[in-house]
Each structure stands twice: as structure tokens, then as C-alpha cells.
Amino acid sequence: MRLMSLTTESTSSPQSSAVQSMVVEAGGMAVVAEEGAFKRRIPARWLRLMGSEPRSMVRETGQRAFDSTSIPAEVRVRSTSFNSDEGLWEVRFEGETDALEIDFERLRSSSSVEQIDGPLPSPFTSADQPARALDFENLDSPAAVRSLLETLFRRGYARVRGVPTKEAAFLKLASRLGAHRGSSAPQVITEEVGANAPVNLSASRGCLAHTDEPYLDPMPRYLLQLCIENSLSGGELQLVDGMNAAETLAMEAPIMAAELARWPMLFACTGSDSDYRALRTLLETSADGSFQRITFNDRAALDFMCPEERLAVCAEGYDLLARILQREGLQNRFRVQPGDLVLIDNHRVLHGRSTHGAGERTLLTCSLHRSEVFSTWRRARSGNLD
């Protein structure tokens, strides 16, 4: 097989990891793109689908304005060249006049886990210092937003200090992080703890670490909490990494862990004007057994949906998981002051409150969608965040 190789100069794209060479197989039915460790054989028809030209793309979204079925079954590459001004490869296909631009950075994102899921998580325990808080005034910088979100992805939570204790400032920050971009404003819920709070929130015994609103579908992904007032004596915020909790349970009681990942719990929240219910397992793993999500909420849990003969082991597993969440060795603890904001991955990190004495604490809270947060992170990472 005869191969035709076209290469660019090493300085053609100094600020990106652009493909340095493209090899077209004889007949032009496929190409091989190479750049360092990145190597991918791409069928010509797929390359044609991935290419872009101004009239074939929707300007506002960057999506294709044509269907894949409009591309002929037989596609051949006629020629390739590198546009050093744009930092893009231009590919011409047989039977077509215009060259198509191929952005291999976009192609590469499909084979990069980090582009999709962000930095790999780094589970924490009590041996780790609480995540460092960023200053609110610095979040005008895209680099600071990126740093905040990458801390969230790695640690499961992130902190901001010096936030004005006004709802308008809270909503502005939520919007900065991507909340309901182009849609409605996030719902703001005020949580009060203390003598004037609802009975279930005023108990001085504290609150067991939990995930929020498991009775909703989908369950909120990221929680944003801003402290407005805190005169409580005690009442530290307790954070538990669900990855460590799930691993601890699996080590101490593997059968129980497997049952909690198999049989769902019914979570509910009912009132005079609502009746929310959802079924979900306490532990969720991927096909290879790796951690995906933990769901635990003592107050909203109703019952396991499992065969009668499995209920005893499920109930025992539930009790053990609750006790694991209480272990100080798995917790990060710190006191939140007015102006302190915490961003929590509600699918991974559980939050609770230690015992407290007299006083009041008021939080503003809202939730963010995963797609919104990751969109903001990718824009900050690429320098496209205003």
C-alpha cells in the first residue's frame, strides 16, 4: 500500500496540540492523524462528517446544519493541506469544490476523558486539610473560575469566601458558574437552623451527612450554599467523600455493598401541595465496578424495593453505611461564616452538621446542572469565558 504523507512545521501551531502530520492511505478511503502519543485512524466518510464549512454549520451553536445521511456512502480524500494562519487542516474530497476545515482538537475531545469528565477525582479524608477558599473578587477572572471548578471535580467540593450576603450577589455567582444559562434563574431556598427554624432542623444533635433531594428525578448534581448568618455555637459543616464511604463499606461488608448497589430505596417528600418520590440505589457503580454515585438521606428514605428475603441484609447494610458516614476519620470539618460559599458535588460528597448550641444559621442554596458547570469549565479552559 502506498502512503502519501504531508507534514507541517513544528511552529505551525505553537499554542495548541495540533496534529503534526496526516497520512492518507492509497485510494483516500481513510487517514491516520498523528500528534505525539495521539494516533487515530479515521475513515474518510467520518472525517467528512467531522469537517466544517461556514455554510454547513449553525453559527450560534457550532452544530452541523445537515444530516449524516446526506453524505455519500463512498467518500475519498483528494488532498490535504495545513492552514497555518487558522491552525486547522483543510481537506478536499473527491467530487467537492470547497475544502473543509478539520479541527483535530475537537476530534481529540472524543477520546479524552478529561475533556468530558474533567480532572480525575482525588478522594479526601480527615487527614486532608479542607479545600482552600478562593476570593469572590477574583472570580471575574476565567482562570479563577477554572481553578474553582477543577477543585470541585477533584475534591468533590470547593469554597469561596467574601461573597456579599445578598440574594442578588448569590444569583450573580450562580450565573457566573453557568446556572440556567439562557434559561430561567435558579430557585433560591433559604435554610434556617436554630430556635425559629422548623422542628426537624432545630435539633441541637446536628444532622447526619446526606445527599440533597434524592426524591427528585434527576437528583440535583451540584449544590451552591451561601452562609448569610451564623451565630450558632458549634454546628460545623461536615463533608464526607462518598467514594471513601463506598470503598470502606465494600471492604468491611462486600455482600452488603453489593446489595445496596442492586436494590433501590424509595425516597419521598410529601406535603400539602407536593408528593415527590424516586427510586434509586444507595450506591451506583459503572460496568467495571468503579464508583459513580452515592445517595443517602436518612430523613427521606422510606423502604427498600427488594424481595423479602433480601431486606434483612439491605437494612443491615444501610445501618452500617450510616455509621460509616459518622466516622470522623472520613470527614472534612470547618465552620462557615457569613460570606462563605460552598459548592458541593451532590452525587459524590455528603454534607451534614455537627451538634450545636443556641443561635441561628441561614443559608441561601440552589442547584446547578452538570452540563452547565462543565460548559463553564470548558469555556474557561479554552479562554472563551467572558
Q: Per the structure, how many domains does the chain have? A: 2
Residue 98 is classified by DSSP as S
Q: Write down the pTM of the prediction.
A: 0.80
3-state helix, strand, coil split of the chain in percent (to 5) is 30, 30, 40
> Which residue, 93, 111, 129, sits at the end of a domain?
111
| SS3 state at 363 | strand
Crossing angle of the two packed helices 308-325 and 254-262, in degrees rounded to 10 = 110
Distances (CA, A) of 132 to 157, 160, 238, 342: 10, 8, 16, 11
Torsion angle, alpha carbons of 125, 127, 133, 134, to 10:
-90
> Which residue, 111, 129, 158, sits at the end of a domain?
111
Domain co-membership, 159 together with 233: yes
Domain co-membership, 67 together with 84: yes
Distances (CA, A) of 306 to 56, 303, 309, 317: 52, 9, 8, 13
Domain co-membership, 133 together with 199: yes
Domain co-membership, 139 together with 83: no
> Which residue, 87, 111, 135, sits at the end of a domain?
111
Residue 204 is classified by DSSP as T
Give the residue carrying C-alpha cell 480525575.
120
Crossing angle of the two packed helices 370-382 and 142-155, in degrees rounded to 10 = 130
CATH number, domain of 168, equals 3.60.130.10
Q: Rounded to an integer, what distance in angstroms lies between the CA atom of residue 343 and that of residue 118?
A: 16
Q: What is the pLDDT of residue 162?
A: 98
For residue 274, what is its C-alpha cell? 407536593
Amino acid sitting at position 243? M
Q: Rounded to an integer, what distance in angstroms lies between the CA atom of residue 157 and that of residue 350?
A: 10
Q: What is the pLDDT of residue 99?
A: 80
Q: What is the pLDDT of residue 57?
A: 53
Q: What is the pLDDT of residue 7?
A: 36
| SS3 state at 21 | strand
Domain co-membership, 125 together with 97: no
Q: What is the pLDDT of residue 9?
A: 30
Angle at 293 between CA 292 and CA 294, to 5 degrees: 145
What residue spans of the chain are helical by DSSP H?
44-50, 104-109, 113-117, 142-155, 167-176, 199-202, 242-252, 254-262, 308-325, 370-382
Q: What is the pLDDT of residue 14?
A: 37
Domain co-membership, 346 together with 323: yes
CATH number, domain of 100, equals 3.30.2020.30
Task: Count helices and strands (H / E) in the chain.
Answer: 10, 22
Domain co-membership, 254 together with 342: yes
| SS3 state at 365 | strand
Q: What is the 3-state secondary structure (H, E, C) of 255-281?
A: HHHHHHHHCCEEEEEEECCEEEEEEEC
Domain co-membership, 232 together with 337: yes
Domain co-membership, 85 together with 130: no
Amino acid sitting at position 107? L
- The residue segments making up the domain with residue 241 are 119-382
Domain co-membership, 95 together with 126: no
Domain co-membership, 39 together with 79: yes
Domain co-membership, 173 together with 311: yes
pLDDT averages per 10-residue partition of the chain, 386 residues:
34 43 65 60 80 57 74 84 78 83 63 68 93 96 97 98 95 90 55 60 73 96 94 90 98 98 97 94 92 97 97 98 97 96 98 86 90 94 90
